[in-house]
Amino acid sequence: MKALRNYLDKIKPNFQEGGKLSMFHSVFDGFETFLFTPSTTSKTGVHIHDSIDSKRTMSVVILALLPALLFGMYNVGYQHYLAVGQLDATSFLTVFMFGFLAVLPKIVVSYGVGLGIEFVVAQWKKHEIQEGFLVSGMLIPMIVPIDTPLWMIAVATAFAVIFAKEIFGGTGMNIFNVALITRAFLFFAYPSMMSGDKVFVRTGDTFGMGAGTIVDGYSGATPLGQIATAADPSVAVVDVLGNPIGTWDYFVGLIPGSIGETSTLAILIGAVILLWTGIASWKTMGSVFIGGAFIVAIFNAFGGSAALETSVWDHLFLGGFAFGAVFMATDPVTSARTETGKYIYGFLVGVIAMLVRVVNPGYPEGMMLAILFMNVFAPLIDYIVVDANIKKRLKRAKVTKA
Amino acid sequence: MSLFSKKNKEIFLGPLSKNNPVIVQVLGICSALAVTAKLEPALVMSLSVTAVLAFANVIISLLRNTIPNRIRIIVQLVVVAALVIIVDQVLKAFAYDVSKQLSVFVGLIITNCILMGRLEAFALGNGPWESFLDGVGNGIGYSIILIIVAFFRELLGSGTLFGFQVVPQFLYDMGYQNNGLMILPPMALITVGCIIWFQRARNKDLQEK
């Protein structure tokens, strides 16, 4: 630690005004404040200085994402070796390595493109480098199917960072969740690579690893895809080999799906970290689940199709619902900020996600659209909450006057 | 007064860039979004709007001293509607396929804000020749934007230009795919936004404080 600090202090003059690398001062500044909490304080007025700043906040979120990411890597390998029929003959470590090698390029591309744009813009506008992309860059690889080509991720990330973030003024000013805009761009631009039953399980090899032929009876359809297309309300959801799976499998998450979203268990570990450190709001997170459960209970009462009759637990565990509720609906920038507003915002995210998933025949999953849609309404919710509060207090003031 | 005086040049050239109806006055956006998925309909739409705008401007300018002020909007609408119907019929007769692609949008030229804007703001107060120049200038200003937008949308969304394949096959073999989002209206809006961005970055006097 001491050596690192000394090294930074030694090279610092190069990056300051007049130094030979002064044009990269924001890059240096970004790394320095990432490694060490800056000791600069405000010069005027009285302020309470919290030791946690936004770089530290983002690091905790990354930490919370790790269980889901590691599980996702393992699951990528697991689904692949299941599909080629070699699962029993393959060691745990090989399975994980396969997934690790398959996911790593996506993380590198997402960070490379996103941070590249951030650095250029920061340099150009003479800002500090902002840390918002630290989390977005990790979320992006976790919410795409494993077979999404890298260039598509690069294009979509560039689009999202420029049009959903920098245009609005950078980190903290964006209306929409940047990672979800990336996914929405991919979803609408390249629908064949983002949905269906071909993309969620990697059937080819990764860097020459895990080659094999697909076993007979293989189907890469996700559980939600099967439910959406089922003609019979009492559909039996199966894994890639056709064995029936149930609620427990949905919870643990060894099922086909986008990389980080399948395991509700791993996501819940992340949720505990976020709630325990107080980074995410339990009000938003909880009300998303309540909203989803509420509307599914109503659907269950009516019934009539496979999606309508799927139980509350299954719906909460399947697809990107848990991932969105824990990591994306709680984004402090794009969600509602008033305390009452958080309940309304979260509840409506849950309701709309399930509505899109169940009622709209075109989309088997609705979490992305629900969160983006509510991002638009979050400022309005805040406005109404604040306004209602003002009215309430005005009324009270009048009563005492009379 | 000569036909191509400095003032007339200004009337004609202004709408092409500094006073462009689409990217500066932000008029006629609906049709700019609706017909720009491909270059061919965009081009036909541009010609139709330019023709209607030029002739409507001339006719209203000729009538400007006889139109009672209270009913001028109705008179303008009748003139524009008559011209739009002519254009529509010509398209149906000679370019039926494109006419089907454009569907209602030719008819909707009548509601294009650029038309009413130019008639109200210019033709009612200027002579026929100036009005003609103004109409053609604004028509071309509208056309430039439509064609730029359609160029990018067709190239990236379908890999073609005027229906001819321009993205080579080997790129598709390497895994390139057409961007489906470019075909959808939101990307037209974003493309127009990028053109506005570019325009304002170059012309400092257009930037709002």
Inside any domain, residue B2? no
Q: Is it the case that residue A402 has pLDDT exceeding 60? A: no
Which residues of chain A does B175 touch, with a Cβ-Cβ cutoff of 8 Å? 149, 151
Number of CB atoms found within 10 A of residue A68's CB: 30
Least confident of A210-219, B66-75, B114-123: A210-219
Long-range contacts from A197-200, C-beta under 8 angstroms, 24+ separation: A197/A221, A197/A222, A197/A225, A198/A147, A199/A145, A199/A146, A199/A147, A199/A148, A200/A79, A200/A145, A200/A146, A200/A147, A200/A256, A200/A257, A200/A258
Least confident of A51-60, A132-141, A252-261, A310-319: A51-60
Q: Is it the case that residue A1 has pLDDT exceeding 60? A: yes
Overall average pLDDT of the A323-348 stretch: 92
Least confident of A364-368, A372-376, B172-176: B172-176
Least confident of A165-174, A226-235, B157-166: A226-235
Inside any domain, residue B3? no
Q: Is it the case that residue A265 has pLDDT exceeding 80? A: yes
Overall average pLDDT of the A227-248 stretch: 80
Least confident of A26-30, A197-201, B140-144: A26-30
- Interface check A362 vs B, CB under 8 A: no
Q: Which of A149, A163, A191 is facing B190, going by the closest CB pair? A: A163
SS (H, E, C) A101-117: HHHHHHHHHHHHHHHHH
Least confident of A54-58, B36-40, B91-95, B160-164: A54-58
According to DSSP, the β-strands at B160-161 and B164-165 are antiparallel
Q: How far is CA A214 from the centre of its chain?
A: 31
Q: Which of B176, B177, B181 is facing A185, going by the closest CB pair? A: B181
**Residues A107-124 pLDDT 10s:** 999 999 998 888 888 877
How many domains does the structure of chain B reveal? 1
Number of CB atoms found within 10 A of residue A194's CB: 23
**What is the structure's pLDDT at A44?**
78
Separation CA A398–CA A382 (nearest Å): 24
**What is the structure's pLDDT at A389?**
93
- Helix/strand/coil for A244: strand
- Interface check B196 vs A, CB under 8 A: no
Least confident of A126-130, A138-142, A298-302, B200-204: A126-130
Inside any domain, residue B172? yes
Q: What percent of chain A has pLDDT over 70?
A: 94
Most confident of A83-92, A170-179, A282-291, A298-307: A282-291
Q: Kindly determine whether residue B180 and residue A188, on different chains, have CB atoms separated by under 8 Å.
A: yes
Mean pLDDT of chain B: 86
Inside any domain, residue B4? no
- Interface check B189 vs A, CB under 8 A: no
Q: Which residue has the higher pLDDT, A89 or A40?
A: A89
Q: Which residues neighbour B77 within 8 Å (Cβ) at sequence distance 6 or greater?
A: B110
Q: How far is A162 from chain B (nearest CA, A)?
A: 11
Query: What are the backbone dihedrals phi and psi of residue B165, each rounded to the nearest 5 degrees, phi first?
Result: -65, 120
Q: Which residue has the higher pLDDT, B4 or B15?
A: B15
Long-range contacts from A17-25, C-beta under 8 angstroms, 24+ separation: A23/A123, A24/A123
Burial A275-287 (b: 16+ CB within 10 A, else e): beeebbbebbbbb
**The domain containing residue B60 runs over which residues?**
10-199
Q: Which residues neighbour A152 within 8 Å (Cβ) at sequence distance 6 or greater?
A: A186, A189, A190, A193, B177
Q: Which residue has the higher pLDDT, B100 or A285?
A: A285
- Interface check B68 vs A, CB under 8 A: no
Q: Kindly determine whether residue A190 and residue B184, on different chains, have CB atoms separated by under 8 Å.
A: no
Query: Alpha helices, DSSP H only, in chain B?
Result: 6-13, 29-34, 39-63, 72-94, 96-102, 104-107, 113-121, 128-158, 169-173, 180-183, 185-202
**What is the structure's pLDDT at A24?**
67
Overall average pLDDT of the B1-20 stretch: 77
Q: How confident is the model at residue B158 (pLDDT cuts 50, 70, 90)?
A: confident
Q: Kindly determine whether residue B184 and residue A151, on different chains, have CB atoms separated by under 8 Å.
A: no
**What is the structure's pLDDT at B209?**
66
Inside any domain, residue B25? yes
**What is the structure's pLDDT at B111?**
82
Mean pLDDT of chain A: 85
Q: Is it the case that residue A234 has pLDDT exceeding 80? A: no
Q: Which residue has the higher pLDDT, A115 or A56?
A: A115
* 8 Å CB contact between A58 and A333: no
Inside any domain, residue B208? no
Separation CA A219–CA A242 (nearest Å): 7
Inside any domain, residue B170? yes
Token pair of B112, please?
């294009």
Q: How far is B179 from chain A (nearest CA, A)?
A: 5
Burial grade of A203 (CB within 10 A; 0-12, 13-18, 19 or more): middle
Least confident of A363-377, B3-17, B33-47: B3-17
Q: How far is A11 from chain B (nearest CA, A)?
A: 36
Token pair of A347, please?
């509840």
Report CA-CA distances (Å) from A387 to A131, A335, A382, A384. 33, 18, 8, 5
Q: How confident is the model at residue A399 (pLDDT cuts 50, 70, 90)?
A: low
Q: Which residues neighbour A220 within 8 Å (Cβ) at sequence distance 6 or greater?
A: A83, A197, A198, A199, A200, A201, A203, A240, A256
Least confident of A108-117, A275-284, B9-18: B9-18
Which residues of chain B does A158 touch, with a Cβ-Cβ cutoff of 8 Å? none
Q: Kindly determine whether residue B175 and residue A189, on different chains, have CB atoms separated by under 8 Å.
A: no
- Interface check A369 vs B, CB under 8 A: no
Q: Is it the case that residue B169 has pLDDT exceeding 70? A: yes
Inside any domain, residue B206? no
Overall average pLDDT of the A47-70 stretch: 83
